[in-house]
């Protein structure tokens, strides 16, 4: 193998190891919130566009189960990159200091930046979870170092879990947004496309 191929393979293995660890850490922490109540009912306390509800849920349901080094509320700086996060196609999201409004952002002892944004779906609470696996370091791009999940009564699942392979591949491409890249990696047997490596 050539040196560039060896480097790419090494980077891919390192990235996959980071992704698996992050998925395990976040899954376990979020599932502890379920064991506390016996069900997912605490998610219904979170209301979209309501800062207090998501902060209260975070402090009581999630924070006790994860090692947090820093936390920021309502788009305050310090926890997420100060630069605009990018889509996989290079366009910028319209947010600073996190993704969304009325959000909770925190940093973990493992070096992750985590962004929690509430929404409701069919009357049930849904938590959108954005995880930057290398914190504020570049490239700060969806589908490269930032991955998107949902936490609902279906569990902690990657965004796009209900999409077709065609939809997943279109989104996780150089012309796409990068929302469904974690789902694509899982479907590909934990293989990362070389163009998605950072």
Q: What is the mean pLDDT of each run of 10 residues along the chain (198 residues)?
A: 75 87 90 79 84 93 93 95 94 92 94 90 80 93 95 91 97 97 96 82
Q: Whose CA is closest to 44, among 126, 100, 157, 155? A: 126
pLDDT at 195: 79
pLDDT at 190: 94
110 conformational bin, left if phi > 0, alpha if psi -120 to 50, beta if neither: alpha
How distant is the alpha carbon of residue 12 from its chain centre?
Answer: 19
- At a CB cut-off of 8 Å and minimum separation 6, what does 27 contact? 155, 156
pLDDT at 187: 96
d(Cα 181, Cα 169) in Å, to the nearest integer?
8
The residue behind tokens 């922490």 is 29
d(Cα 150, Cα 118) in Å, to the nearest integer?
10
SS3 81: coil
Q: Where are the beta strands (DSSP E) in the chain?
A: 68-73, 104-108, 113-121, 124-132, 146-152, 155-158
pLDDT at 177: 97
- Reading the block at residue 36, the tokens are 């506390």
- Reading the block at residue 122, the tokens are 């069919």
pLDDT at 1: 62
pLDDT at 38: 77
Instruction: Enter the pTM of the model.
Output: 0.93
CA distances from 162 to 72, 105, 154, 168, 183 (A): 31, 26, 12, 10, 9
pLDDT at 33: 82
d(Cα 171, Cα 165) in Å, to the nearest integer?
10
């Amino acid at each position: 193998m050539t040196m560039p191929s060896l480097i790419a393979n090494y980077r891919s293995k390192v990235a996959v190891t980071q992704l698996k660890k992050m998925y395990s850490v976040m899954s376990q922490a979020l599932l502890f919130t379920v064991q506390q109540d016996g069900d997912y009912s605490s998610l219904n306390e979170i209301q979209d566009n309501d800062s207090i509800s998501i902060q209260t849920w975070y402090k009581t349901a999630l924070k006790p189960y994860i090692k947090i080094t820093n936390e920021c509320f309502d788009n305050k700086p310090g926890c997420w990159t100060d630069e605009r996060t990018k889509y996989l196609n290079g366009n910028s999201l319209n947010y600073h200091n996190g993704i969304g409004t009325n959000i909770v952002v925190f940093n973990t002892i493992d070096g992750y930046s985590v962004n929690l944004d509430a929404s409701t779906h069919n009357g049930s609470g849904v938590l959108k979870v954005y995880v930057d696996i290398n914190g504020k370091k570049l490239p700060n791009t969806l589908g490269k170092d930032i991955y998107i999940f949902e936490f609902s009564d279906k569990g902690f699942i990657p965004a796009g879990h209900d999409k077709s392979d065609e939809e997943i591949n279109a989104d996780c491409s150089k012309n796409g947004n990068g929302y469904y890249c974690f789902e694509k990696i899982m479907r590909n047997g934990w293989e990362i496309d070389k163009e998605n490596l950072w």
